[in-house]
Amino acid sequence: MKKTTIVFILLIAVMNTYSQNFKEYYFRFDINDKTELNELTKIISIDKVVDHTVFAYSTSLDFDKFKELGYNYTFIENAKSSKAVVATNIEEMANWNKYPTYDVYVEMMNSYATSYPNICKLINVGTTANGRSLLTLKISDNVNVEENEPEFFYTSTMHGDETTGFALMLRLIDSLATNYGSVPEITNLIDSIEIYINPNSNPDGTYGSDNNTISYPTRTNGNGVDINRNFPDPSEGDHPDGKAWQPETKAMMAFANEHRFTMSANFHGGIEVANYPWDNTYRRHPDDDWFLRVSRDYATSCQNNSPAGYFDDENNGITNGADWYVVYGGRQDYFTYYHNSREITFEISNTKTVSGSDLPDFWNYNKKALFQFMRECLYGISGTVKDANGNPLDAMIRIQNHDTDLDSSMVFTDPDVGDYHRPIEPGTYDIIASSTGYINDTIKNISVIYNNLQIADYILEFDSIQFEIIHEIINDTLDIGDSTEHSFIIKNIGKKDLEYSLFLDFPTKSSSWIELSKKSGLVIPENNDTIIIFLNATELSQGHYHSMLELSVQNKVNYYYPIDLYIRTPQFIDDINTTQNIKIYPNPFDQYLEIEFIPLFNNVTITLYNYQGLKLGENTFKVKKEIKNHISINHKNFNIQNLTNGIYFLKISAGNKEITKRILKILR
């Protein structure tokens, strides 16, 4: 039986204020087509999509931007997030049917570290916007030593009102710590994996202004920002939400940089489903079959250990992220792309802040799935990469004809130990190990079988060729029509002639945006060669373009240099002194648009773009003063009646002034 959540419609906004300088709104509205979400997700924080109804959050800082789009919306009392019963001391947590106060939470985390010092180590990852600690517990058999073991990360409640995972992560810590040495399954996990658990990554949202209660917690952090939209994004660049990185975001990014997480998961609430990459694109990850299987395994385990109707949303408990709705700036894509991990989002309760009395049930539903998911990082392919003297190397492990630069699906060794761990579905693979200054090595025909581990160790030969590469990291953002260039200098500091070749790998949709001034050459000792890399956005639409520059030296050693280009949508100019002089109506529109100018312009150029920044048409109009500087946009000059529903942009140019306005097409 499907669970039903009752919502109460209000005539005024239901909001959370506490001591923050913002109000948080929860509302719903209808869309005509899911493509509308690709732009809406940049403006509001989408909670879920049911058929054509969108449930979303916004704060008073951003809500006006949404209202400008003209959607009819209804505020909702967030009955899923309400006051929770809290434990005021550790003893009251014994039955796991309460949430801890913030102080009790901190005390519990410290207690595990002091009570089980051989296997538990407390790490303060950083500080929140309101000064609370982001606590993470490392659990491992040699907790103070880096070993040849996969690193695994569980984290929860980056949306502060989604607290079920918070309680379950604390109970998971307790189960691991108290059963080590007595329960073989748990002992094996702790002996084989370096486990990290962060129960609450947004305590400001959970506790608000009062450490002693969880009373109508907020989705956002103390600054009114959705942390799960605030991470760098492979498609939209460093700041997809248009906001500065939050303290919680920066702390998690720094923590990820210090580790090589093989797998990770973050826990949410509001629906019951396993959500796997990608969130920001409909393209499938090279390991899509693996992601689909482990997501299905989690859902099936939950269903087998719960009453009928639990964890069966979307595709019977699983969904590809973008197929559900597109998200930019999410933690899942950030870890998977930028840190070469495999992360899944588990939405584990329809109710966001479930009653404390229900928490033991949710533990029983999820317990086996939590352990089962952890075990997955012990399967696939693993090994070490070292030099001839046994020193660990910082190396890339790439599965030939499988991994892609576009998806950053290759994995890297932990340079302190030299170990790598590569979960993958059964099959036969050729695997290449490469490290700067060493000759690549390939092990062929490695056969992977289900729930098993294959070992592939490498010893790389030092490259005697001596040269330096002088170059910039190419990670540019351009407007449509712009161009730029970069220098790539090969300097021969050895005593032999150096022969090189350059290749460009194009995993993205176009290759016209990048050119090299030369593709091969010979550099004599104590000389250098300069190659110019040209980037041109003239024929591109909005989006992320990626290439890998491959340098081959003496036809035997390859080096790789990523090139990333982000093309922006036409920029908004919100200067009220400019925009107040132009009226555009109706907006939303159907068959026509009217534009009126208050000052007198002679010639005006109108350019129409879709939401991706692709130019759809352009016309220059001679404005007729006798009809009040008026322009009609219709089927005769732009064929707008054939446009699909969605968001578009009008760029209006007159003289040396230019503005861009957002418009919305809705078929009436």
Summarised one tens digit per residue, pLDDT across range 389-427 is 999 999 999 999 999 988 999 999 999 999 999 999 999
Tokens of 19: 């001591």
Lowest mean pLDDT among 40-44, 48-52, 576-580, 627-631: 576-580
- For residue 617, give the 3-state DSSP assignment: strand
List active site positions.
347
For residues 108 and 183, state if they share a domain.
yes
Region 288-302 average pLDDT: 98
CB 277 within 8 A of CB 264: no
Domain boundary among 518, 551, 568: 568
Higher pLDDT, residue 40 or 202: 202
Same domain, yes or no: 485 and 628: no
Q: Do 394 and 416 belong to one domain?
A: yes
* Tokens 């102080």, residue located: 103
User: Is 392:417 a contact under the CB 8 Å cutoff?
Assistant: yes
* 384 and 446 both lie in a single domain: yes
Cis peptide preceding 360, ω within 30 of 0: no
| Distance (Å, whole) CA 363 – CA 65 | 40
Overall number of domains in the chain = 5
pLDDT for residue 83: 66
pLDDT the model gives residue 82? 53
List Cβ<8 Å contacts ≥24 apart for 145-148: 146/194, 146/414, 146/416, 146/417, 147/194, 147/417, 148/384, 148/417, 148/418, 148/419
Which one has a higher pLDDT value, 17 or 213? 213
Last residue in a domain, options 56, 77, 98 = 77
Q: What is the mean pLDDT of the chain?
A: 86
Q: Are 173 and 139 in contact (CB under 8 A)?
A: yes
| Cα(87)–Cα(90) distance, integer angstroms | 7
CB 646 within 8 A of CB 625: no
Q: Are residues 157 and 268 in the same domain?
A: yes
Shared domain for 498 and 417, answered yes or no, is: no
Enter the tokens of residue 149: 């073991």
Q: Please give the pLDDT value at position 270.
A: 93
Residue 598: pLDDT band (50, 70, 90) is: low
The predicted model gives 534-561 an average pLDDT of: 82
Helix, strand or coil for residue 294? helix
pTM of this structure? 0.74
pLDDT band for 9, please (50, 70, 90 cuts). very low
Q: Do the domain assignments include residue 3?
A: no
pLDDT given at position 567: 81
Cα separation, 539 vs 616, whole angstroms = 13
- 38: domain CATH number? 3.30.70
Model confidence at 381: pLDDT above 90: yes
d(CA 76, CA 370): 33
What band does 5 get if pLDDT is binned at 50, 70 and 90? very low
**pLDDT score recorded for residue 81:** 47
Q: What is the span of the domain harbouring residue 549?
A: 467-568
pLDDT at 602: 60
Position 653 confidence tier, pLDDT thresholds 50, 70, 90 = confident
* Residue keyed to tokens 């109707």: 309
- All residues at 6 or more sequence positions from 251 whose CB lies less than 8 Å from its CB, including other chains: 125, 126, 127, 134
Position 20 scores a pLDDT of: 53
In the chain, the amino acid numbered 117 is P
Q: Which of 508, 534, 568 is the last residue of a domain?
A: 568
Same domain, 384 and 370: no
